[in-house]
A and B are shown apart, each in its own frame.
Chain A
Amino acid sequence: MSKAGVVNLLDLPPLQVTGWLQTFDTVISDCDATLWHDDVAIPGAADVLNLLQRRFGKRVYLITNNGTKTRQEIFERSQRLGFELASEAQIISPTSTIVNYLRQSDKFDGKKQRVYVVGNAAIERELSGAGIESFGAGKPEQLDIKWQDFVEREFSTPTAAVDVGAVVVGWDEHYSYCKMARACHILTANPDCAFLTTNKDAVHKYPAYHIPGTGAFVAGIEACAEREALEMGKPNPLVLEPLLKGSALDVKRTLMVGDCLKIDVSFARNCGMQSLLVGTGSYQLETLHALQADSSASNPLVPDVYLPKLGDLLPYI
């Protein structure tokens, strides 16, 4: 199969699609806009993944950059929407990647250290489930005094940063100056402190509004702390490490399915996996062709294959 351009599987003779189905043993699929839109399944997606497991014996994992739910909560949603997965171990999510990372880190001691979270309560729930103490998640913190007095009051004593072994940034609609200041204080006071983020999505675009993504929250803190946060989501290949170690994954025989060129296809490329882009998100075929025509990059981001939606595979399986 040529890797040079975008191939719409629907344009290929059925025999070639069948042949393509045999080039991978594992499927890792994005969730939002690939398998479901919030709590509504995209037609055919569950059937395809279930059949690939049952009939073809392929392994299936779900991967998401959604840092507002724990791994267990995403697993429960997948069950509700008809996806047959053996357990939550088949879910790769930022909150669980963060827990894995801290557990295997030499510098973080979950028994003695706690985590400062600029983010939502799901991060705290996942950490707490792993016996790791955290503070700050899901709580508003606004200034009610002069900022100089706030800084003196909060950061003049060692207690603000003591025993804090990690700063985690996730989706936080209560993002504020106070939180930025506290994160910066902790990171500059403790050089060994881990600095993690669920993902670096810059913005979420809706017709009437553009909503800042976690990437924007973390960028503000990175600027002041003069440190880069480690991304615990796609397209960072670090996210695949537990799977590579634990289950002898062959990346060349693994198919990454997603709706986002910049995040899912680049994740596939970063890990050496094959890629299937589905048109149920922001990228349709016309957009892809336009991007290809525009791009002056020597190695533009192009998925191996394309389908309007994952359910379109059903006739072939």
Chain B
Amino acid sequence: MLLPRFTLNKLLVRCLNLTMAGRNSQLTPSNRSSSQSRSSNSKQFKQTCTQLLDLPPAKVTEWLQSFDAVISDCDGVLWVYGKAIEGSVDVMNQLKSMGKSIYFCTNNSTKTRSELLVKGVELGFNIDQNSIISTAHATAAYLKQRNFNKRVYVIGSTGITQELDAVGIKHTDVGPDPMPGSLNEFMTQHLKLDTDIGAVVVGFDEHFSFPKMTKAATYLNDKKCLFIATNTDERFPMPTHVVPGSGSFVRAIQTCAEREPFIIGKPNPAICEQLIRANKVNPARTLMIGDRANTDILLGYNCGFQTLLVGSGIHQLSDVEQWKKSNNPEDKKLIPDVYLPKLGDLLPALLTDRANIY
């Protein structure tokens, strides 16, 4: 007999409180020392790509209790393009009601945090703005933290410029910048360079063009000018087509600028820097969920998180097999702790988990 979800949640929280004798009722990171014995359980799956669906329920329950925070990628894990992936909403909301802190972490720089929040809420996810970690927001925060007071040349979208506006950082406009005429006309009449550019930020830009490349290469010739990439995913996640992502635009710019960018997004741990520093998450008791190993799982590795790979996006079990066979130590970092075909597959275990509490 299934109780109404609301009642179930309350009972579950009470049961969790009772079963954890001698501990505070909240599994907060401040209980780090008392949770050490629990976090040792999480090491048993370390980089083994254990298939959760093959484990007995008791083991899954144990695994569920080994983390207090969940950081999940969005495209390919929670949703694809405009639609939620089956079961993702229920799983994330259940994890939240179990008392876990939930964060959405996306490399997609085309939306502001509030736009991502609207999208998530519309799809049914129980989140607030502080749950969202996005590269556009993190880029603005990165510059603000370093007291950046010049102008940013942006190759990207309004997702980035609006976040810069929100922290009071000046920037150039985004949108189309096509060749106005012949190359000679462009160079002699139209090419106008700003004198106060202190950073070039490159993200996803469907209006990428030769004039933009010329401006970026010229600005970046000044070593003092910062070069920031929101992310380096070479392909934009799209179910049916291979299309260029931010990483392709970044590669073009880094080639003509002859410089490497500072990469804000996954797998650079900088994107979770604030969360960890502010003690909002305890890395050993944080689960990173993703579909792309060289961004999501690698971020997990870099931050000391536990990792779950889902097969509903970019990488599959067959890819993990390759990395297991590989001699390259870098490939080992891509192997997740555990695996599920899709996030929604966790739902039966979550509901069983509750039933077993009785």
Contacts and interface: CB of A to CB of B under 8 A. Distances in A.
Q: Do A and B bind each other?
A: yes
Interface of A: 140, 142-143, 147-148, 151, 155-156, 172-177, 180-181, 184-185, 188, 202-203, 205, 208-213, 215-217, 219-226
Given A175-B209, A202-B256, A220-B251, 6 more contacts: A174-B178, A188-B242, A203-B257, A211-B217, A216-B217, A219-B255
Contacts of B213: 175, 212, 216
Contacts of A155: 241
B62 interface: no
Contacts of B252: 212, 216-217, 219-220, 223
29 contacts: A140-B178, A142-B207, A143-B176, A148-B81, A148-B238, A151-B243, A173-B186, A173-B210, A174-B179, A175-B210, A176-B207, A177-B208, A177-B244, A181-B244, A184-B244, A185-B242, A209-B187, A209-B191, A209-B214, A210-B220, A211-B214, A211-B217, A212-B210, A212-B256, A216-B252, A219-B252, A221-B248, A224-B234, A224-B244
Given A188-B242, A209-B187, A216-B252, A172 B210 contact: yes
B249 interface: yes
B332 interface: no
A142 B247 contact: no
Interface residues of B, number: 40
Contacts of B251: 219-220, 222-223
Contacts of B220: 210
Interface in B214-244: 214, 217-218, 220-221, 234-235, 238, 240-244
B265 to A, nearest CB: 15
B214 A180 contact: no
B258 A202 contact: yes
B210 A220 contact: no
4 closest Cβ pairs, A-B complex: A220-B252, A212-B256, A216-B256, A147-B206
A172 B176 CA distance: 17
A40 to B, nearest CB: 17
A77 B220 CA distance: 35
Nearest to A212: B256
B183 interface: yes
B245 interface: yes
B192 to A, nearest CB: 11
B253 interface: yes
Contact of A184 (B179, B206, B242, B254): B242
B241 A203 contact: no
A147 B251 CA distance: 20
Of B205, B208, B238, B243, most buried by chain A (CB within 10 Å of CB) is B243
A200 to B, nearest CB: 9
Given A143-B207, A224-B244, A212 B214 contact: yes
Nearest to A144: B176
A202 B253 CA distance: 10
B75 to A, nearest CB: 13
A181 B243 contact: yes
A185 B248 CA distance: 14
B256 to A, nearest CB: 4
A224 B214 CA distance: 21
A214 to B, nearest CB: 10
Contact of B183 (A156, A173, A185, A208): A173
B244 A180 contact: yes
Of A181, A212, A217, most buried by chain B (CB within 10 Å of CB) is A212
